[in-house]
Chains A and B, each alone.
Chain A
Amino acid sequence: MIAIGERINGMFTDVKKAIADKDKKVIQDLAKRQTEAGATYLDINVGTAAADQAATISWLVETIQETCRTPLCLDSQKPDVIAAGLKAADTSNGILLNSSPLNKKSDEDVLDKYIEMAEQAGPEGKLITLTMDKNGVPQDVDTRVAIAAEIVQKAMEKGFATDRLFIDPIILPVNVPNAQIQPTNILDAIGQIKYLAEPAPHITMGLSNLSQGTTQRSLINRVFLAMALSHGADSAIVDVLDEKLMDVLATTEILLNKQLYSDSYLKAYKGR
C-alpha cells in the first residue's frame, strides 16, 4: 500500500507551533520518524497555521528536504500554494499533489490546473483527486463513481496516465447523524472506481477523518483500513506512527496475497 504520512499538518498543535516558531527540528523529526515507520509519501499541509500559506509550504518543503529524501505530498486546495511548494520541491524522487475536485463553482478549471502541475513535476508527478464537484460532496455511491469517471476521462483527454491518478472517495466521520451508511458506500464506490480505467487509478482516502470525534479513533481507523484494502483501495493518508495500524496494514497485505508471508513479516514490512 502507498502510505501517505499525515502528521505534518498545521492542524496538529505541535506542527502549528513549529511553524509559528520556525522550529525546524520538530518538522524534521516528524519527517524522519514517519519515513522510518514506512511512509511512502509525507503529506504537507499548512492548514490554518500561517497566514501566508505559499511561503509556509515552501519553508516546510525546504526544511524536510534538508534531512529527508522521502517523496512529498503537497496538500492544499489552493493551486498557488501547491505551485509554491512545487517550486521548492526536489521532484526527482516523485511527488504527489493533494488534491483537486472535478470542478468548483469558483473555479471550473481547477482540475486542469492540478493535472498540468502534476504533469510538469516530471514523470513521477502524481495527483490526488476528490469525488466532489461544484455541487459538493456526494453522499451516494453512484454520484461518487460518476464523478470519478469524469475525472478519469479528463485525465485521459489530457494525456495524463491513469496510474498517475489517485481518487479519494471522501470519507466522512462515522458519528455524523444519519451518515453511518457512508463507510459502506465508500467501499462500494471503491469496488467500482478501480475498474474505470486500465491501468487502474490508485484509490486513497483520508482515513483519520472517519473516526473524527469518536471515542475509539485508532480502532475504527485500523478496522476500516483492512476493509478498504480488501475492496481495492491501495493507498491511504494515515498516521503511520500508529504501530498497530501499520501492523494491520502489513497483515492485510499478507492475507490479500500482496506480500509474501514470512514469520517476521511485520519486521520486513517496516524495513521496506
Chain B
Amino acid sequence: MPVPKIAESFKGSVSRVTLGATSQSGGTRTSTVVVGGAGNVVYGGSSDQVGERPVIAMDVLDSPPDDWSEHLAKEYADVLDSPGAWAKKCVDQFGAELICIKFDGLHPDKGDKGADHAVKVTKEVLEAVGVPLVLWGCGNDEKDNQIMPKVSEAAKGENCLIGTVTEDNYKSLTAIALADGHNLITEAPLDINIGKQVNILAADMGFPLERIVTFQATGALGYGIEYSYSIQERQRLAALSGDKMMAMPSICDVGNEAWRTKEAKTPDAPQWGDADKRGPMWEAATAICLLQAGTDILRMRHPKAVSTVKNFISELWED
C-alpha cells in the first residue's frame, strides 16, 4: 500500500515559545531554546511545517530523592545532594538542553522545606549552568502558592518556564510569572476540555497565550500512555484547526512516570531482563511514543534513555 501524501494545509499552527534569556535580553543564560511552531501533524506536510525540534529537559531534584530505583540513582550518586553539580553533570556530560528543577522537597510529605531552601537551590542551579530552566512546584497547592512566587522572583528576568497552574489553583502563580517575565505551564488531568479551560483562565488574567506551554499529565508505557497519546494528538489537531486556546507547545513528564512502573524499578526480575537496561528502555520507549503524538518538551531522567531519545530526534528532525 502506498504511503498517503499528507499535503493538507491547516489554518492554524502551534505557537513558538522561547525559553531562557541571554545577557542581550536581560538574563544570564548562555543559550536559549525555542519550542513549538508545527504547522501540520507529526511527520506530515512539507519541511517548513515541521516546526522546532523537540527538546529534553533533564530533571534535577531540589532534595535527594529517597524513592528512586538504585539503577537510576547510581547515575547521580555523586551529585544527588547538590542540585548545582547535578545540573552541571546533566548539561556537561549528558547534553541536556534544559534543566527542570523539580521542587519535590517542598511537599509536606517529602521534607516540607521552605522558601529559603527553594531560593538557594534556584540560584545555585542558575549559577552552575547556562541552559534555560524549568521550575516545577511540588504539587501541593498551599506550599506551591507560598513558595513558588519566591522561586519565580529569584529567577526574574531569566525567561524560565514555571508551573504548574491548574483549573482550581492558577491565580497567584500566573500573576507572579507574568510579573517576573516567565513562561507558564498549564496543567490538566488527562482531560482535553479542562486543558482548554485552564488556558482560558490564564489568558483571562492577561497572560499571553504565546508564552504558555501545556502539561496534560503523562501516562507511561503500559500505564495509560494511550490517553496521553490521544490528548497530545487532539491538542495538535485543535491547534491546526485554528483554536488559539489550544495552540501551545506541550511538555510531558516522562522520567517520573516511567520510573514509577514496576517494569522499570523492580530490581530482581530476571524474566524481564537486565534491570540496568530495563528502566532506561521503558523511559525511552515512553518518550518516543509521546514524540510521535506531537509533544515538544520531554522531562527525562536516565542518561541512557536521554541519549537514545536524542539520537531518535536527530534522525527524524534533521536540520
Residues on A close to B: CB < 8 A? 258-265, 267-268, 271-272
Select one of A259, A263, A271, A272 contacting B197, CB under 8 A: A263
Which segment of B53-61, B136-144, B200-208 sits at the interface? B200-208
Write 13 A-B pairs (CB below 8 A) sorted by A numbering. A258-B241, A260-B192, A260-B196, A260-B234, A261-B193, A262-B193, A262-B195, A262-B197, A263-B193, A264-B204, A268-B196, A268-B245, A272-B243
B window 185-199: CB within 8 A of A: 192-197
Query: What distance in Å separates the Cβ of B301 from its nearest Cβ neighbour in chain A?
Result: 32
B288 within 8 A of A: no
- Chain B: residues with Cβ within 8 Å of the partner, total of 18
Query: A260 touching B243 by the CB < 8 A rule?
Result: yes
Query: What distance in Å separates the Cβ of B134 from its nearest Cβ neighbour in chain A?
Result: 25
Select one of A258, A262, A271, A272 contacting B194, CB under 8 A: A262
Q: Bound complex: CA of A267 vs CA of B244, how far in Å?
A: 12
Query: What distance in Å separates the Cβ of B11 from its nearest Cβ neighbour in chain A?
Result: 10
Query: B244 touching A264 by the CB < 8 A rule?
Result: no
Query: B197 touching A264 by the CB < 8 A rule?
Result: yes
Q: Bound complex: CA of A262 vs CA of B202, how far in Å?
A: 13
Select one of A260, A265, A271 contacting B238, CB under 8 A: A260
Query: What distance in Å separates the Cβ of B129 from its nearest Cβ neighbour in chain A?
Result: 37
Query: B200 touching A268 by the CB < 8 A rule?
Result: yes
Contacts of B275 on A, CB cut-off 8 Å?
none
Q: Bound complex: CA of A272 vs CA of B151, how far in Å?
A: 33
Query: A271 touching B245 by the CB < 8 A rule?
Result: yes
B246 within 8 A of A: yes
Select one of A258, A262, A272 contacting B244, CB under 8 A: A272
Contacts of B197 on A, CB cut-off 8 Å?
262-264
Contacts of B238 on A, CB cut-off 8 Å?
260
With A260-B238, A260-B246, A262-B245 in contact, is A271–B200 under 8 Å at CB?
yes
Q: Bound complex: CA of A263 vs CA of B245, how far in Å?
A: 13
Query: B201 touching A264 by the CB < 8 A rule?
Result: yes
Contacts of B241 on A, CB cut-off 8 Å?
258
Query: B193 touching A271 by the CB < 8 A rule?
Result: no
Given contact pairs A262-B194, A262-B196, enumerate 14 new A-B contacts (beta carbons under 8 Å). Answer: A260-B192, A260-B243, A261-B193, A261-B196, A262-B193, A262-B197, A263-B193, A264-B197, A264-B201, A265-B196, A268-B245, A271-B203, A272-B242, A272-B245
Q: Bound complex: CA of A264 vs CA of B197, how far in Å?
A: 6
Q: Bound complex: CA of A179 vs CA of B156, how far in Å?
A: 67
Contacts of A272 on B, CB cut-off 8 Å?
242-245
Contacts of A268 on B, CB cut-off 8 Å?
196, 200, 245
B window 208-255: CB within 8 A of A: 234, 238, 241-246
B window 154-210: CB within 8 A of A: 192-197, 200-201, 203-204
Q: Bound complex: CA of A169 vs CA of B243, how far in Å?
A: 28
Select one of B204, B234, B243 contacting A267, CB under 8 A: B204
